[in-house]
Structure 1
Amino acid sequence: MKAVLLALAFLLELALLVAAGWWGFTRDVGWPVRLLAGLGVPLLIAVVWGLFCSPKASVPLPAPAKLSVQAACFVTGGLLLALAGRPVPGALLVGLWAVNKALLTLAHDPV
């Protein structure tokens, strides 16, 4: 079960990056700005995730702080999808992440 949850977590992280890119490429601005937003925002999120949230993070954080950064990343992704005209997928992204995170926490530290 834990392997399935970890695989889903990885897929959700990829979906987060796709959501950020989708938002950037759907902006109603010139193509240079769309290109910058469509590639730059996912890159920024990936750097933040790599620094603070990945299993081999460069900057180790206490669990509550790490959870806060992860939540901020996913809420940002959901909000960006909503701003791109896709509020339901945005809400699903955040909701699936929250459920998956809760299940992973329970699988790691059963009560």
Structure 2
Amino acid sequence: MLSSLKSLNLLLMFLLELAVYVAVVLWGVAVGDGWPVEVALGVGAPVVMMTAWALFGSPRAAHPARGAWRVVLEVFWFGAGAAALAASGRPRWAVALAGACLVNAALRRLWRQ
């Protein structure tokens, strides 16, 4: 039973990571002034986020963040997602994302994932 919950928690983290990408795309489209800027921000911002995650956050990252640096990375990563949702006019979704991230992080720390 506990191993199933741990697996679900890791799945939730993956889904939350994907939600950050969606949030950043929504932000880019919401704040863009005209379609060229919307496309540039809606595509460019997620590419920047993907690069950062690939370098530091992914389990196979070139320079994986560990310990306190991992905590800092996750705060900035998921905080950016919540901030992007809030800035795109979706404050309730921002709160929901932030809350889910906090619960997920607490469970990962508790279960040493």
TM-score w.r.t. the length of structure 2 is: 0.90
What residue in structure 1 maps to residue 36 of structure 2? 32
Letter in 1 for 2:75: A
CA deviation vs aligned residue, 1:35-63 (integer Å, no higher than 9, x gap): 01001111111111111111111113331
Say yes or no: does 1:21 pair with 2:35. Answer: no
What residue in structure 2 maps to residue 50 of structure 1? 54
What residue in structure 2 maps to residue 85 of structure 1? 89
> RMSD of aligned C-alpha atoms?
1.3
76, 98, 101: which one aligns with 2:102: 98
What residue in structure 2 maps to residue 69 of structure 1? 73
Letter in 2 for 1:48: A
Moved over 4 A (4+): none
Q: Is the 8 A contact 1:49 1:70 kept in 2?
A: no
Q: Quote the sequence identity (%).
A: 38
May I ask how many residue pairs the two structures share in their alignment? 109
Letter in 1 for 2:81: G
Select between 32-41 and 57-66 the one with higher mean Cα deviation. 57-66
For the residues of structure 2 that align with 1:3 and 1:21, how far apart are their CA atoms? 28
Letter in 2 for 1:45: M
Unaligned 5+ residue runs, structure 1?
none
7, 19, 33: which one aligns with 1:3: 7
Q: Is the 8 A contact 2:27 2:42 kept in 1?
A: yes
**Displacement, 1:76?**
1.1
TM-score w.r.t. the length of structure 1 is: 0.92
For the residues of structure 1 that align with 2:65 and 2:19, how far apart are their CA atoms? 24
Q: Is the 8 A contact 2:79 2:98 kept in 1?
A: yes
For the residues of structure 2 that align with 1:102 and 1:43, how far apart are their CA atoms? 28
For the residues of structure 2 that align with 1:56 and 1:28, how far apart are their CA atoms? 33
Letter in 1 for 2:80: T
Letter in 2 for 1:71: V
